[in-house]
Structure 1
Amino acid sequence: MSTEVAERGVFGRLVGQHDVEQSLRDAALSARGDSSGSEMTHAWLFTGPPGSGRSVAALCFAAALQCTSDGAPGCGECHACTTTMGGTHGDVRRIIPDGLSISVKGMREIVNIASRRPTTGRWQVIVVEDADRLTEGAANALLKVVEEPPDRTVILLCAPTTDPEDMSVTLRSRCRHMPLVTPSVESIAQVLIDRDGLDPERARIAASISGGHVGRARRLATDESARDERQRSLRLAADAIGASTAYKAAENLVKSIEADTKAFYAELKEQELEELKVSLGGGGTGKGTAGTLRGSAGLIKDLEARQKSRDTRARRDLLDRTLIDLAGMYRDALSYSLGSTSTATHPDMARQAAELAARTSPEGLLKCIEAVLECREAVDFNVKLQWALDAMVASIGAAFRPPFSRSGG
Structure 2
Amino acid sequence: MLQDLLWLYGAKRQYDIQKEAGLAGLIGVIATLFIILQWDNLFFPFLNAIGLVELVQDADLVDKTIRETFINISLTALFFILALGFSMALPMLFLMSIVAIVGKDTSRPNPLQFAVGLLFLPIMLAVYIVLKLLQFFGILKDDRDTVEKYINDNVSMKKVVSNTKAKQLDSELLHLLTIQENQKGEMVSYNELTHEEAITVLNRAIPSLEDNSDFLFAFDEQYKCWYILFPNPIPVFASETLLDTRPEVSPFNFEKLSRAQLAFSTGSSLATKPLFYVPAIPITFEYDTTKKIFIKLVSNHNGFVACVDKLAKIVKVKGAFANNIYSCAVKNAGIKTLVNKAHSYAYTIPLAYPEEVNMFKDPSCTFSYYKALQEVPYSTKYCELYKSLVFETVHHKAASGHLWAKGLVK
Structure-1-length-normalised TM-score: 0.24
Structure-2-length-normalised TM-score: 0.24
Structure possessing the higher radius of gyration over alpha carbons: 2
Looking at secondary structure, tell me which structure has more strand per residue. 2
